[in-house]
Structure 1
Amino acid sequence: MKKFWQLLLTAMLAVLVLAACGNDSKKEETPVDSDQPAETEQEEQAGGNSSSYPYTINDAVGEDITFEKAPETVISLIPSNTEILFGIDAGDKVIAVTENDDFPEEVKDLDKVGDYNVNVEKVISLKPDVVFAHDMMLGSGEEGLNQIRDAGIQVVVIPTAETFEETYETIKIFGEIMDKNEEANKIVEDMKAKVEDIKAKAADITDKKTVLVENSDAPEIYAPGKNTFPQQFLDIINAENIITEEGWVMISPETIVDESPDVILVSYSYVPDVVENIKKRDGFDTVTAVKEDQVIQVDENITSRTGPRLADGLEAYAKAIYPEVFGE
């Protein structure tokens, strides 16, 4: 099941980036008008300590949702939303999450409302004040979200963040909804400080390493190219992506051998002993990353979830690719 979810996520990401290349906005299944983070009527409150109610937010699908007060009971349908809620000290309001949520530790004791397929009946039975969904759920999951709305439960669809700046904005939006502005702003400032520190260290790197970021195993090896979060990571730390195409693309083992990247980052864990398996692929004994023992697995959660740990994901890339600069 974990392999299926990893492959499904990869497919979603591929569609997401293709959508971003055109006029349709960012979503990992069906295009939706969500190019920009959700806007609120109280934008002037950003950076303040208290939210003012009633409070209205226009979400990723153009719905206006008004809160008379900060929600007391919340269900989160995607791990990134959950990590933000706990990060801004609103975890005590979360009453249910999905089976895919694994951070922080407290989520393991919460009710579960499905995985990538939401148990709509259970969500409705728990009667939360609000359900935080995500625009990657639209398409196959849209009918379920409409059922939740029809039951009188507020649903906020969070747009996909594709940059650090959009991630910061999403965190602040959660802070505004939950009346946790101070906590949200602190997270954003800490993330910005870490990113700037990494940028400063990377500025002196002149001998760029070539990198492949694998997101799925052979025979269908998918890797990120331009206009993806991994590409932004690589740009920040002065590394060169061997993928030059837009979005998430499938690359053959033969092409990897020909390109012979200096580093192969493995951003999935559904395959046991994946690093050793990559090294044993036909012809890979000639690849620089294999010869130099630079096939390195990174945590796919911190490097892909657009929440408080995203700057840690950037740091993981930096340490894996340039240990001589970023190593402890």
Structure 2
Amino acid sequence: MRTVLALTLFLLAACGNPEPTATPTPTPEPTATPTPTATPPPLRMGDMDMASDLDARLDAMRTTMETVEPVWTVYVHSEDWVTPGGNTLMSDIFELLKMDNIATHDGYRELSPEVVVALEPDIIITDSVMSVIGDPELSELHLVQDVSHIDHHIFVLSEGYSFSPDSDHFMDAVEELAAFVYPDVFGEDDGHGHSH
């Protein structure tokens, strides 16, 4: 399992700047033997600023999380029931936020509705609240049956935010999730953060 440090290094390498460089990088001539393309492109000055900001924000979150005790269970819901398990970027985010993913498999796999209902996650991350409360297979979940729990247990990212490392709002998404799960630690409690 990757550590949060590995996540930081991955994100620093993955940071990209959509602005073109002053001098284009020459394209190598094709060769008979293909060359691997796994090496990230060299970082430019704007990339370094973004990487420094990202690193500082991750360090601040790590420091804050040292004092946090609760470990909430979490599930990422999609309409096709495919969800991230271990050894994914989401699992690194959950580890950072001391959340226990109910999906114990590695990578992305389908998780049956029966398993989700049996494990009753504290928090569900999804694209829309209706995809959870409108799904008859999830109707037995306590957080669906008790309407007062919906705002506190179903998390939907703000528009434009993404958990993709390519997104300019990746860290905003992580911070938004942290504030939802721990509103008393990461900002003002507007009544929509998680509570038990």
Per the normalisation by structure 2, the TM-score is: 0.70
> 2:135: which partner in 1?
281
Instruction: Summarize the Cα distance change of 1:317–1:200 in structure 2 as closer, same or farther, 3 Å threshold.
Output: same
Q: Quote how far apart the aligned CAs of 1:245 are.
A: 1.4
Percent identical among aligned pairs is: 20
- Alpha carbons of 1:240 and 1:129: their partners in 2 closer, same or farther (altered >3 Å)? same
Q: What are the ranges of 5 or more consecutive residues in structure 2 without an aligned counterpart?
A: 1-8, 189-196
Deviation at 1:319, TM superposition (A): 2.1
Deviation at 1:229, TM superposition (A): 0.3
TM normalised by structure 1 equals 0.44
Larger Rg: 1
When residues 200 and 289 of structure 1 are mapped into structure 2, their CA distance, relative to the original with a 3 A threshold, is farther
How many aligned positions are there? 170
CA contact under 8 A between 2:73 and 2:102: conserved in structure 1?
A: yes
1:297 corresponds to: 156
Give the alignment partner of residue 16 of structure 2, picking from 80, 84, 93.
84
| Structure 2 counterpart of 1:202 | 65
> Which residue in 1 is equivalent to 2:42?
174
Structure 1 residue ranges, 4+ long, deviating more than 6 angstroms after superposition: none
Deviation readout 1:262-318 (Å, 9 max, x if unpaired): 11001x4xxxxx311311222534324433112121268531134654322321321
**Alpha-carbon separation, structure 2, partners of 1:288 and 1:203:** 30
User: Letter of the aligned partner of 2:157 in structure 1?
Assistant: V
The 3-state SS of whatever aligns with 2:130 is helix
1:263 touches 1:288 (CA, 8 Å); kept in 2?
no
Q: What value does the CA root-mean-square deviation take over the aligned residues?
A: 3.5
Distance change >3 Å, CA 309–CA 280, structure 1 → 2: closer
The letter for the 1-side match of 2:16 is I
Q: Which runs of 5+ in 1 are unaligned?
A: 1-35, 38-80, 95-127, 132-147, 160-169, 269-273
| AA matched with 1:284 | L
Alignment of 1:52-71 (within 5 A): none
Does 2:47 align with 1:184?
A: yes
1:222-241 equivalent positions in 2, closer than 5 A: 222-241=82-101
**Alpha-carbon separation, structure 1, partners of 2:176 and 2:167:** 15
* Counterpart code for 1:295: I
* Further displaced range: 203-212 or 304-313: 304-313
Aligned residue number for residue 254 of structure 1 = 114
Q: Which amino acid aligns with 1:187?
A: M
Query: What pairs up with 1:59-138 in 2 under 5 angstroms?
Result: 84-86=16-18, 91-93=19-21
Distance 2:131 2:168 in 1: 32
Please tell me whether the aligned partners of residues 72 and 122 of structure 2 are also in contact (alpha carbons under 8 angstroms). Answer: yes
3-state SS of 2:62 partner: helix
Specify whether residues 289 and 208 from structure 1 end up closer, same or farther in structure 2 by C-alpha distance, changes over 3 A only: farther
**Pair 1:221 & 2:81 matched:** yes
Given that 2:163 and 2:174 are in contact with CA atoms closer than 8 Å, whether structure 1 keeps it comes out as yes
SS in 1 for 2:56: helix
Separation in 2, partners of 1:201, 1:129: 41
Tell me what 1:211 maps to. Answer: 74
* 2-structure distance, mates of 1:149, 1:317: 45
Match of 1:264, SS? Answer: strand
Q: Is the 8 A contact 2:125 2:155 kept in 1?
A: yes
